[in-house]
Amino acid sequence: MIDFESVTITYEGAAQPTLADVNLRIDEGELVLVVGRTGSGKSTLLRAINGLVPHFTGGTLQGRVTVDGRDTRTHPPRDLADLVGMVPQDPMSSFVTDTVEEELAYSMECLGIAPAVMRRRVEETLDLLGLTDVRDRPLLSLSGGQRQRVAIGAVLTAHPRVLVLDEPTSALDPGAAEEVLATLQRLVHDLGITVVLAEHRLERVLEYADRIVYVPGDAAPLIIGTPSDIMRDVPIAPAVVQLGRLAHWEPLPLSVRDARRRAASLRERLADTPEPTAPDVGARVVTIDRTKASYGEIPALRGVTLDVAAGEVIALMGRNGAGKSTLLSTLVGLRRPDAGTVRIDGLDPAALTGPKLIGRIGLVPQESTDLLGRDTVAAECQDADRDAQVPSGSTAVLLAELAPDISPDMHPRDLSEGQRITLALAIILVASPAVILLDEPTRGLDYPTKARLAQILRDLAARGHAVVLATHDVELAAEVATRVVVLADGEVVADGPTAHIVVGSPLFAPQVAKVLATAPGQSVPLTVTAVQRALAATS
């Protein structure tokens, strides 16, 4: 179905190719997972399948890419639209209409599909992706996860034979991600559609893949094989695989189910693991009192009351559309609440501007491009230094620590989604605000970069900063959060220490807890690092 024959892709001004001498065949009905570090070339590989590389991204393509016999050199994306559906990292970049239903119908209109067929497919897709309740909503009013599902649905309605997805679950809550992956499974198994997806959250997708294509970066040869073969050697792996490596399980588990079957002896060794002690926290720095907010007649927050203390790392969790992003934007003063109050160190954030605001609270938004407006990374860093009133070069140093592979001469739009998020994070962190807000900060980040981020957040909390992150990344929450607050339909439905909230939860439990816990509320390590510490303490 898809053939790469001696493909080398080089972008203008690059010192070396992004991909070199790629030979790859993907058969009809395969689900192929593309993995690798942020910026390694995964998105380039995907975009070559539907001709976006080189017809729209530029650069030089040597060799040949064919899809069902069509050569992408002579067939631009418009000539492949009936064959290949592409879902990009940023769903907003693909939207061309105003409402959900219109967007789902657009691709079919372009292909000249009969109105009766269009209507049926729209209804099927709304049901398939859980979008029925928002069918008439403006796209701009949707949460990030809802937008992601619409972007996937807009491609599915055209019934392509090849589906290419770049980070398809990155903005989805765990339940919605499972629904999308189940949908992809049905498309592969029942309809024989070929699915190629790049994903950093391997814990979600690894067990579904037929093969993995590992992109090492630096134009190194691709490593291609079954998930069990690839996971033996590559430096990136989800928690369940890392746990299998630690316990010397053979073969390595690829799913929680596989790991639970082998974990009996490990559970016995960890049976007396003490409950983690509550961290020391400082004075209260954030007060949210009976806060309400809405979008027109649609309520987003329904009387939320919450306090945040210095030294805390709070993970806001909940379904897409639960109100997490709205709460963060209200906290940072981007919008005033309809009722109730929000105070940062006793001050109304909506009344603060300039250094008085960024020195107290900073938000890394879900759409990182909202913070980026210059033509080079270096210029962005210089502006951040000036705005934060810190020594010149401070942002660049912080960025190099987070993502050493980002060149200061690159244009921000040429960065991968993960790299743009990292740049936005550095811009906010350089001001060292008392309260740091992050909206889906690990979207597009690989495991090593996420580990560096986790350490930075822990260090910030240790120095007395308050950190609040809205996230669907249960592994990040387990790694860094001292407290989890769960929102549902604009209300706080759970609030407590991380272990108390996530252990036993079918949606918010990390993989290690799912493997080790045998009952809700049981005290077990939440991460592989915690397992290592517990084993060392018992030996």
Q: What is the pLDDT of residues 335-370, one digit of tens each?
A: 899 999 999 988 888 888 877 788 889 898 887 778
What is the distance, to the nearest Å, from the Cα of residue 31 to the centroid of all Cα atoms in its chain? Answer: 20
Alpha-carbon distance 253 to 396, whole Å? 40
Pairing of strands 60-67, 2-10: antiparallel
Answer for the pair 287, 342: CB distance below 8 angstroms, yes or no: yes
The type of residue at 183 is T
Bridge partners, 289 (sequence order): 341
Is it the case that residue 6 has pLDDT exceeding 90?
A: yes
- Determine the Cα–Cα distance for residues 280 and 282; give it in Å rounded to an integer: 7
**DSSP symbols for 279-316:** PP--SEEEEEEEEEEEETTEEEEEEEEEEEETT-EEEE
pLDDT band at 120 (very low <50, low <70, confident <90, very high): very high
Read off the DSSP letter of residue 276: P
**Residue 144 pLDDT greater than 80, yes or no:** no
Yes or no: say if 410 and 372 are a contact pair by the CB < 8 Å rule: no
More confident call, 208 vs 93: 208
Distance CA(477)–CA(430), nearest Å, equals 23
What does the pLDDT read at residue 31? Answer: 95
Can you tell me the distance from the alpha carbon of 388 to that of 386, in angstroms, rounded to the nearest whole number? 5
- Token match 């790694």: residue? 479
For residue 353, what pLDDT is reported? 80
Residues 173, 507: contact at Cβ < 8 Å?
Answer: yes
Determine contact, residues 49/84, Cβ cutoff 8 Å: yes
- If one counts every other C-beta atom within 10 angstroms of the C-beta of residue 318, the result is 23
The Cα–Cα gap between 316 and 438 comes to: 10
- Give yes or no for residue 212 having a pLDDT over 90: yes
Model confidence pLDDT, tens digit, residues 458-471: 988 998 999 999 99
Domains within the chain, CATH numbers bracketed: 2-235 (3.40.50.300), 237-269+503-539 (no CATH), 284-502 (3.40.50.300)
Mean local confidence (pLDDT), 478-490: 94
User: Using 50, 70 and 90 to split pLDDT, how confident is the model at 512?
Assistant: very high
For residue 25, give the DSSP letter.
E
- Residue 436: beta bridge partners? 362, 467
Kindly tell me if the per-residue pLDDT of 145 is higher than 90: no
Cis peptide preceding 506, ω within 30 of 0: no
Nearest alpha-carbon partner for 101 in 141, 130, 156, 139: 139
Q: What is the pLDDT of residue 236?
A: 87
Kind and range of the H or E run holding 166: strand 162-166
- Among the ranges given (25-34, 279-288, 377-386), the one the predictor scored with the smallest mean pLDDT: 279-288
Chain centroid to Cα 369, Å, comes to: 15
Q: Which residues pair with 497 in a beta bridge?
A: 483
Q: Is 440 helix (H, G, I), strand (E, B) or coil?
A: coil
pLDDT tier at 408, thresholds 50, 70, 90: very high
Judged against a pLDDT cut of 80, whether residue 276 lies above it is answered with no
Q: CA-based angle 173:179:182, to the nearest 5? A: 135
d(CA 499, CA 276) in angstroms, rounded, equals 8
**Rounded alpha-carbon distances, angstroms, from residue 72 to 130, 144, 335, 344:** 34, 31, 46, 54
* pLDDT at residue 269 in the model: 86
Is residue 272 over pLDDT 80? no
What is the arithmetic mean of pLDDT over 28-40? Answer: 91
Contacts of 486 (CB under 8 A, 6+ apart): 317, 318, 492, 493, 494, 495, 501, 508
Please report, as a single letter, which amino acid is at residue 85.
Answer: G
Task: Give the chain's radius of gyration (CA, Å).
Answer: 23
Question: What mean pLDDT, rounded, does the chain reach?
Answer: 89
Question: Residue 486: enclosing H or E segment and its boundaries?
Answer: strand 483-488
Tell me, what's the pLDDT at 105?
A: 93
pLDDT of residue 277: 74
Q: What's the rounded mean pLDDT across residues 181-192?
A: 84
Supply the pTM of this predicted model: 0.84
- With contact defined as beta carbons under 8 Å apart, do 483 and 498 qualify? yes
Euclidean distance between CA atoms 527 and 450, whole angstroms: 14
240 CB-near residues (< 8 Å, 6+ apart): 203, 253, 254, 255, 256, 258, 259, 511, 512, 515
Buried b / exposed e along 112-125 (16+ C-beta atoms within 10 A): ebeeeebeebbeeb
pLDDT in tens, 289-304: 999 999 888 899 999 9
